[in-house]
Amino acid sequence: MSRGPDAATQLERALVATAQSAGCPIAIATSDWTRWASATFTGARHTLTLTAAAGPMLDQWLAGLSEAEFRLRNYLVADLTVTRLIRDGAVATVALEALTVEER
pTM here is 0.93
pLDDT cut 70: percent of the chain above it: 97
Please report, for residues 4, 43, the alpha-carbon distance to residue 1 in angstroms, rounded to integers and kept in the order given: 9, 21
**Best CA proximity match to 53, nearest among 83, 91, 84:** 91
DSSP 6: -
φ, ψ dihedrals at 22, nearest 5°? -85, 0
pLDDT cut 90: percent of the chain above it: 93
Could you give the domains of the chain?
7-102 (3.30.2000.30)
**Best CA proximity match to 28, nearest among 6, 50, 57, 59:** 50
20-73 confidence digits (pLDDT tens): 999 999 999 999 999 999 999 999 999 999 999 999 999 999 999 999 999 899
5-23 confidence digits (pLDDT tens): 899 999 999 999 999 999 9
The strand ranges marked E within the chain are 26-37, 42-53, 75-88, 91-102
